[in-house]
């Protein structure tokens, strides 16, 4: 069935991104709470129709690690996109405190499985892996959203705002991985995955803007500097997992299959030596962070099995 605006009751705003606003909505015919993203685009009707058609692929993106897509429509020059509402928000809300190792492991496992599903089953490269695009619900499920499926939409979104937090791999910053067909390699997403893991562990973006004179200096550090590392407080296995995501040369980075094997090993270690992780610092000032954490910790023993 096709969703339209008349069926929706608008609730509170969930957040704002570079390209639009996300609101919580109630789909009245089914009584399902959804998240609706509004993207303002200055495009003609034909192009807007093309975007809606391209987004249709998302109906096939059904997996436990992928935010469910309900439908999209446009009104005037705005595209509206309805997806599963994730009631514990996005991982960027975990600012300020180190995420305990088992939780980090669960997040990593879900992200790798989600990315592998997109690549293997749908031949989709995410292209925008970062903490705000990883969502959590109170059941403790971790799911990916905002992956690139519409060429027309990608083209239309102004690339002016690279932002002060770039999760782009060094080769993407240098512009090498964009071949004639305009495709990225999957290993660029692996870099962004590693960087997101470090952000979870540090509780802040790994290349803090205040340390650099300007965005150029910051991007130079990503391209020419040593990659960041997981702090010493994490186990050797976890540090190795992240290091293999953050190799500067894309061909040297681990594949999803390799990462899954290490994630599984890590899970076994957690079960065998649970005491090792009990002392992990877990300080979080924001209430919302506590909520996300709670969701993740609650289901921990269950999901590790
Ligand atoms: P960018 O515009 O660079 O992609 P972003 O991912 O933060 O940044 P949006 O995708 O517009 O921007 O999302 C804005 C915020 O809305 C997110 O940070 C997230 O916290 C929240 N959000 C997005 N989708 C959902 C959802 N399905 N359920 C709950 N909250 C959501
Ligand atoms: Mg997003």
| pLDDT tens figures, 87-129 | 999 998 876 668 899 889 999 999 999 999 999 999 999 999 9
Long-range contacts of 6-12 (CB under 8 A, 24+ apart): 8/34, 8/36, 8/82, 10/36
**Beta-ladder partners of 39:** 20, 79
Percentage, residues of the chain above pLDDT 90: 65
Task: Specify the higher pLDDT residue, 180 or 290.
Answer: 290
The model's confidence at residue 15, banded by pLDDT at 50, 70 and 90, is: very high
Tens digits of residue pLDDT in 113-122: 999 999 999 9
Q: What are 62's two structure tokens?
A: 């059904």
| Number of neighbours of residue 22 by Cβ within 10 angstroms | 20
Task: Give the pLDDT confidence of 48-83 residue by residue, as tens digits.
Answer: 999 999 999 999 999 999 999 999 999 998 999 999
Catalytic residue among 56, 87, 128, 237: 128
Q: Residues enclosing ligand 1, CB less than 6 A?
A: 14-20, 22, 35, 37, 67, 83-86, 89-90, 132-133, 135, 145-146
Write phi, then psi, for 200 (nearest 5 degrees): -60, -40
Q: Which pTM was predicted? A: 0.87
The overall average pLDDT reported for the chain is 85
Give the number of the ligand closest to the Cα of residue 83: 1
Pick the ligand that lies closest to the CA of residue 21.
1
62/42 Cα distance (integer angstroms): 30
**Distance, CA of 39 to CA of 67 (rounded, Å):** 18
**pLDDT for position 1:** 72
Token pair 């959203």: residue: 145
| Residue 210: HSE in the Cβ half-sphere, 13 Å Cα cutoff | 2
With cut-offs at 50, 70 and 90, classify the pLDDT of residue 222: very high
Reference 201, options 282, 144, 271; nearest CA is 282
**Per the annotation, where are the binding residues for ATP?**
37
Active site residue 128: yes
- Smallest CA-to-CA distance from 11 within 43, 44, 33 is with 33
């Amino acid at each position: 069935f096709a969703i339209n605006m008349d069926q929706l009751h608008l609730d509170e705003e969930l957040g704002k991104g570079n390209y639009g606003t996300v609101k919580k909505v109630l789909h009245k015919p089914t009584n399902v709470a959804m998240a609706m993203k509004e993207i303002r685009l200055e495009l003609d009707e034909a192009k807007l129709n093309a975007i809606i058609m391209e987004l249709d692929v998302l109906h096939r993106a059904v997996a436990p690690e992928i935010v469910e897509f309900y439908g999209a429509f446009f009104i005037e020059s705005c595209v509206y996109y309805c997806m599963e509402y994730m009631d514990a928000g996005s991982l960027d809300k975990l600012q300020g405190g180190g995420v305990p190792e088992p939780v980090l492991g669960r997040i990593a496992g879900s992200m790798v499985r989600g990315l592998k599903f997109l690549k293997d089953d749908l031949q989709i490269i995410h292209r925008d892996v970062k903490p705000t695009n990883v969502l959590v619900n109170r059941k403790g499920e971790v799911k990916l959203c905002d992956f690139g499926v519409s060429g027309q939409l990608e083209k239309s979104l102004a690339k002016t705002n690279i932002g002060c937090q770039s999760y782009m791999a060094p080769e993407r910053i240098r512009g090498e991985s964009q071949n004639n067909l305009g495709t990225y390699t999957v290993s660029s997403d692996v870099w962004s995955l590693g960087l997101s893991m470090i952000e979870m562990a540090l509780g802040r973006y790994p290349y803090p803007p205040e340390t650099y004179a300007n965005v150029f200096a910051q991007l130079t550090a990503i391209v020419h500097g040593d990659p960041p590392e997981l702090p010493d407080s994490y186990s050797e296995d976890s540090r190795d997992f992240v290091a293999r995501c953050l190799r500067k040369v894309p061909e040297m980075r681990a594949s999803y299959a390799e990462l899954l094997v290490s994630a599984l090993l890590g899970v076994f270690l957690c079960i065998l030596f649970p005491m090792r992780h009990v002392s992990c610092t877990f300080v979080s000032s924001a209430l919302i962070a506590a909520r996300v954490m709670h969701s993740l910790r609650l289901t921990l023993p269950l999901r590790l099995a």
